[in-house]
Structure formats: C-alpha cells, structure tokens
Amino acid sequence: MSTVPFSLLFSLVLLSTPVSAQAPSAKPLFVEGQAQVVPAFASPGEWIREQLWVETEFDSDKNGKRDRVHVDVIRQKQTQTEGLRVPVVYESSPYFAGTSGNFDVNWDVRHELGAQPPARTAHPTVGFNANRKSISNSLVGTWVPRGFAVVHSEAPGTGLSEGSATVGGAPERLAPKAVIDWLNGRAKGYTTLDGSIEIQADWCTGKVGMTGTSYNGTIPVAAATTGVKGLEAIIPVAPNTSYYHYYRSNGLVRSPGGYLGEDIDSLYDFINSGDPARREAGDRLYRDGAFAQNQDRRTGDYNAFWAEHDLLPFTKNIKCAVLMAHAFNDWNVVPEHSVRISQAIKGRVPLVQYFHQGGHGGDPPLELMNKWFTRFLYGVQNGIEKGPKSYIVREREPGAPRPAPTPYDDYPNPAASPVTFFLSSGGKTAGGLTPVKPVKQSTEELTDDVSLTAATLVQAADSPNRLLYATPELTAPVHLSGTARVTVRLASSAAAANLSVYLVQLPWTTGPIGTENLITRGWADPQNAKSLTKGGDYHAMDRGTPLKPGEFVTLTFDLEPDDQIIPVGKRIGLMILSSDHDFTLWPKPGTKLTVDLDATRITLPLVGGADTFKRATGAR
C-alpha cells in the first residue's frame, strides 16, 4: 500500500478547505468611499501574470472556426495563495500590438465634390511578434494595488487575437462580451491559441468595469450594448460611438481633426496587426470588400453599412453604470459621440458626465474613477451616483493651472433655454447677430476658397470668402450649455458644395483652437437638405440630390455640443463658409454660396435664457 507524504497531504487539506475558512490575510481597504493602496498588493514582483485565449461566438475571418481573442491578466498573489477573489478593471484595444504609424494611408482630399476620388494605394504592413508574452501594463499600477485585477485583450484581427479587424463591426461588441463571459465562467479560455487545455477565472468575483480612451474607450460602450451580465460599470473616455459621425457630418465627407483624408478603410490598415498569414482574408472581406463597396466617399450619404457601425441603436441593451468622459475641444472624436449616448441612456442607468475644455482624451480625476469602480464593483455605498450628474472643468486663464471640475445638476445645464439669433447685413466685414429679427433684408454671397483656413477667414477685416455676424460686446459673462442648432437657406452656383459653420469669440485670439477663440462648429452637405429639416442626428437613408444652380434650399443641423462661459469683452460671432481647410474635401475655388439672411438663424442654449443675454449686452 502506497503512502502519501505528509507535506502533500497537508496541501490537499488546504485545497479541500472551503475558501471562506481560509480568510485572506490581506483584504481591500476603503476610506471615504475609495479603494486604498494595500501594501500587500503593491509589489509588482509578486503579482501573478497570465496570458490566455478566450473563445468567442463569432468567426470574423470566415475560416469556419470561432475566433479566439488574446487576453492577459495581472492579479494579486493572494488570489492564488489565500483564496482572495477580486473584481476586474478591463481594457481592450486594437492598438496594443502596434500600428502602421504611417498616415500616408489616408485618402487624397484634393478633388471635386461628387467626383470619384483618386485611388488610395498605400497599404503599409504592421509588424508582428508571435512571441509576445503580455499585452499591456496600462492601468496596472493604479488598480492592482487597490484590490482590483487588471485584464487586457487585443481586438479581433490585431496582435495575437484571431479573426479580422472589422472597425466597428459586431465582433468589436462580441469580443469583450466573450472575455466578460469567461470572467464569469460562461465562456472557455485556453492556455494556447489553438490548444484544448482550459483555464478558468475562479479568482474573479464576476464583477467587471471597463475603461479606456478613444478606440479603447469605444470598446467599453460596445461591450455594454450587448447587455452582458457581469459588466457593472464603464468609464469611456472620448469614445467613437458611430463611424459615420467620425468620418462624415450630415451627408458631408469630413475628416477627423488632425487626420485629413482618414476613412474606415485606412483605419483598418493602421490597426491590422494580426498574424500575417490571416490578413488576406480580412483585406478581402473588409477593406477591399464591405468597406470599399459601401463607405462612399463620393456622396458622403448615410446607408445601411454606416448604420451597422453605429452603437446608438444598441443602447437599449445597456444595463451598467456609465461615467462618460469627453472634451469639448476634441475635434478628433467630436463630443457628440458621448453626448448622443448619454442622452439615450439618461434615466435608465446610473449616469455621470465629465467634460473638460481641452483636446482629445483626458481621464476624469482618479478620485471620481475610484469612487465609480469602488461603488459598482465592490458595492461600497459611497453615494457617487446620487451626487452631481455632471462635472465640467471650466475655462482657465492662459498660464493658470487647470481648475478642479465644477459640479452641476446635469448636462446640458437644466437652467439653459434656447435663444434664437438672427442675421443682419454686413457679413463681408461683420454684420449683426441679434435675438430681434430685423426687418426684411436681401441676400449676401461668399466664394469658396479652401486654401484659406477658418482662423484666417475669421480674422480678416473684410473677406469675400466668408460671411460673419456678431453680437454686441458682452458686459457680463454668457454661459452656453448644450447643442446649438443652425438653419441656413442658401443657393449654390454649383451642383455640389461644402457648408461649414463656426460659432466663435471675437476678437479672435491667435493661437491653438480652444476656449479663447472657438465656441463650436459643424458641417453639412446642402445636397441633403431634404433630410436636414429638424436638426439632430442625420440618419436618413435617402440619397443627396444635386443642387440646381441659383435655387435655394434650407437645411437645419446641429453644431457640436459645448459648455462654455464667454467672458466679458467678447462678442459671439457666427461665421458661414464653404470648404473647411482642416476637415472637408478640397474642391477648386470659385463656387459661390448665396445666403438668405431672413431665413437663416442660429439657436443657442443659454443659461438664464434670453433675459441673461439681454442683460449682458444691453439689448432690448
């Protein structure tokens, strides 16, 4: 009869003892509603690091097998040695394995509107490393010492994940869902890409929070739209929630700020970092298939393809708590991406919105993020969801430190109400902008010239290439909170024209775009006037209609959401131009737009309404 060594017997007793009987010596600590750094969790050399592949429910590269996505886990040693179970902070991305880093992949914007654009021929190859042992160290130093495990995954078709990059397709919703299912014991994880040895997440409580910025912020929203059980809270920062809204505006081809000519197919090339042996399938199915057939850079119209790459229709499935973060001067992923989702879920789930006045990205303060994850992943009743529903970092003086966020009851500010402003003649220099409708007026004309930037045009004392209208100088601050809506009645000398509208502060302060000069802006295609009658989201499936030279059309559309306090000494200006050097296609100069002043107006959401504006300008 064989005997079992005492040391092994003792180990077996420990393994068979219920976890509840083996109380961990180190536990998460909470002070004033926030998870604190626990010294026993804070030694990186003691953390357990694992990598695995989670099997999904889809086959994005159509090879007959379900895709597996690459995952890494960083957790406290006590989850292995003492039975400690912890929640997860999870980030997913197509960027972890690297990108092409070559923005020559973008389209040439120098062509006439409605013309077939020059072919895009640059398709750079992203490097591939099959021997990577981990995905990322992002978030780890913040959350693991505070009692959370950190999980990363690579988006389908990137890094060591199988499948193809679909750039906003269904797999980008379902891949993080599979990882969350694995963390809850509902999906299978494997120790290798193609093996059969399973690995389980028995150390996880099943509660998951997601966060990330830009594309990495899009994926938490995408995961939430599946309604997956176990996803308790998300903190998306500058998420792209619609690829139409990212690459188009109201029927118009519009580039994201700083990436002129980028489109969904060039983004595919930028992130296509998966196994080179599998890339041909993705190129054929997506870049050279669905994208090439449906993205339509010739008209910019909305269609079923763009509808499939929009998260808004899926928001009815969101069940988790949402701390949404964005910047009002983010002209890469413009702020409507967050605001449209927040409006759709408001009142259904816990929601707090955080905004700042800077550019792309920018996390909420750690205190706010900590309280959010502590509340919804650990169940600590810190009241974060019962406090202010909005935090906004206010404008700052040049050279001054960034102010702390100001709390508000909600966004848009509940005290804001719409005030409509009308135009009075003189737009070649600076006409009037007033809440009192002038007596009947004539039309005014501008000539398109994309070589002139908006900043150049607004600073010109007199210009034939834009129309500018301004309020009197403010003697008291005016607070704008919400979404401005503009109605323009115009005629074009050509069958197609760009339309760009800027709301600005005058005098314009030279320097980077920001709260000292720009309030907000927007773009639209006059060919889509029939679909642009009420403003809001442009989701019409009809095709744009060529303009008849000299025939007037009326279009109404929203500018980008904002919350800004315009200071004393400034004037609020409305500038109308055609092509925008930094955002639109670049047709040859010469198209003339004639604007009907009597039928053109802009409605601004002002805190305190019309009375506040009157007091700030002495208007009657």
Whether the Cβ atoms of residue 340 and residue 315 lie closer than 8 Å to each other: no
Residue with tokens 């927040």: 342
Cβ burial 465-493 (10 Å sphere, 16+ → b, else e): bbbbbbbeebeeebbbbbbbbbbbbbbbb
Q: Angle, to 10 degrees, between the axis of helix 171-183 and the axis of helix 215-224?
A: 70
**Structure-token pair, residue 577:** 């131009």
| Radius of gyration from C-alpha coordinates of the chain | 27
Q: Which H/E stretch holds residue 601?
A: strand 601-607
436: number of CA atoms within 13 Å, CB side? 9
Does the active-site annotation cover 360? yes
User: For residue 173, what are its two tokens?
Assistant: 């919703």
What is the distance between the alpha carbons of residues 332 and 325, in angstroms, rounded to a whole number? 14
Annotated catalytic residue within 330, 449, 558, 580: 330
214 tagged catalytic: yes
d(CA 211, CA 584): 31
Gap between the terminal Cα atoms of the chain: 104
Backbone angles phi, psi at 452, to 5 degrees: -100, 125
3 state SS of 607: strand
List CB contacts of 536: < 8 A, sequence separation 6 or more. Answer: 558
* Inter-residue contact 302 to 541 (CB < 8 Å): yes
Catalytic residue among 70, 337, 360, 581: 360
d(Cα 132, Cα 84) in Å, to the nearest integer?
28
Cα distance between residue 134 and residue 20, in whole Å? 32
Number of other CB atoms surrounding residue 149 within 10 Å = 27
Map tokens 């597996």 to a residue: 68
Closest CA to 312 of 216, 384, 245: 245
> Does residue 245 have an active-site annotation?
no
Closest CA to 337 of 213, 228, 446, 441: 213
414 secondary structure, DSSP code: T
Distance from chain centroid for Cα 616: 34
Pairs from 79-82 (Cβ < 8 Å, separation ≥ 24)? 79/48, 79/149, 79/203, 80/48, 80/203, 82/22, 82/23, 82/24, 82/25, 82/26
In degrees to the nearest 10, what's the CA dihedral of 3, 8, 9, 10? 150
List the one residue out of 508, 497, 499 whose CA is nearest residue 455: 508
Half-sphere exposure of 234 (CA within 13 A, CB side): 34
| Dist CA 271 CA 287 (whole Å) | 12
Which residues have a catalytic role annotated? 214, 330, 360
